[in-house]
Amino acid sequence: MSKTIKKIGVMTSGGDSPGMNAAVRSVVRTCAYHRIACAGIYRGFEGMIEGDFIDMDARSVKDIINKGGTILKSARSKEFRTPEGRKKAYDKLTEAGIDALVTIGGDGTFTGAMIFGQEYDFPVMGIPGTIDNDIFGTTHTLGYDTALNTVVEVIDKIRDTASSHNRLFFIEVMGRDVGHIALNVGVGAGAEEILIPEEDLGLDRLLESLRRSKRSGKSSSIVVVAEGDKIGKNVFELKDYVEANMTEYEVRVSVLGHMQRGGSPSCFDRVLASRMGVRAVEELLNGKTAYMVGLLNDKMALTPFEQAVKGKSKINMELLRVSEIMTT
């Protein structure tokens, strides 16, 4: 028999992403709708260990649906990885009357939540929030769509200067282990080449492809490189290599960095966050625990934490072919 839940704690953890605030708002308002209490937990598992909580009601989350970042702050906690840290967190939650959790973050967040839930028989649900889209069990994580739009806008601007100077630009985008952002923005912004960790193009083929596009009459080029791409040591080494082998090109590098994580969430991310928050709270109230709420075939879908953290999110191979054809 599942226990009756009286107060849900909500937290954001790991790298922040646009849409996290919209998810917090949804969790808080769904709790209010079902007349149960809700508390915000500051700085993820760190704040949980320290008992850094704030009681929240429907009005506490006004005017945040459009805000980037997370009002609850985010952190990566080493202490929560230890049994002692988790015991402290359990004591603080119990003291505050929090008897269930909604955790918003990536696979590190879900791993922590899963272990904690098992150790203390504590109901936990997860909402995937990361711009990298690297979580199994959902086609979209919160913030991914916003990041794609942000990056495409920036690449459009870089293209203006690239073509004015007949330059080749390597643009590095986020994606530590996966190429979702690179692949989609590469197609969306019409890049000549897209380098992702899932596909090892190799330096020779990269050169060949750039030579081909030069021969076909292109005077400037954009190559989108995922942060986790494995060709060369880094994007600057790529630049040196291409400059040494293609003297006809003047090459520049742009590393977009953390600006990709900021900004007001897109409508898609706001709607997704609102849907996920409702579902996460209602599943907890139905007695479910240790699941992540995801989006599959445009429907909310539950994936056990264990699968969400072990499974690999796959890139859309069709997009690679589309890109190849578009750069003819």
> By the criterion CB under 6 A, which residues form the site for ligand F6P?
15, 130-132, 174-176, 227, 261
Buried b (16+ CB within 10 A) or exposed e, 78-87: eebeeeebbe
From the CB of 147, what's the least distance to ligand F6P, in Å?
8
Nearest-approach distance from CB 141 to ligand F6P, in angstroms: 9
Smaller CB separation from ligand F6P, 37 or 292: 292
What stretches of the chain adopt beta strand conformation (E)? 7-12, 37-41, 53-56, 100-105, 124-128, 167-173, 193-195, 221-226, 250-255, 291-296, 299-304
Shorter beta-carbon distance to ligand F6P: residue 202 or 257? 257
Query: Sheet containing 250-255: which strands, arranged edge to edge?
Result: 193-195, 221-226, 167-173, 250-255
**8 A C-beta contact, residue 141 and residue 128:** yes
Both tokens assigned to 90:
């359990």
Q: How far is the CB of 219 from ligand F6P (least distance, A)?
A: 32
Tell me the residue number closest to ligand F6P, measured at CB: 15
- Count CB-CB contacts under 10 A for residue 157: 10
Of 123 and 129, the one with the shorter C-beta distance to ligand F6P is 129
Question: Residue 271's Cα: distance from chain center in Å?
Answer: 16
Phi and psi at residue 103, to the nearest 5°: -110, 130
Annotated catalytic sites, by residue? 132
Taking the least distance from each CB to ligand F6P, the nearer of 15 and 117 is 15
Sign of CA dihedral 224, 227, 231, 233: positive
Question: What's the min distance (Å) between Cβ of 153 and ligand F6P?
Answer: 18
| Least distance from ligand F6P to the Cβ atom of residue 143, Å | 8
Q: Which of residues 65 and 173 has its CB atom nearest to ligand F6P in the complex?
A: 173
How far, rounded to the nearest angstrom, does the alpha carbon of residue 65 sit from its chain's CA centroid?
Answer: 17
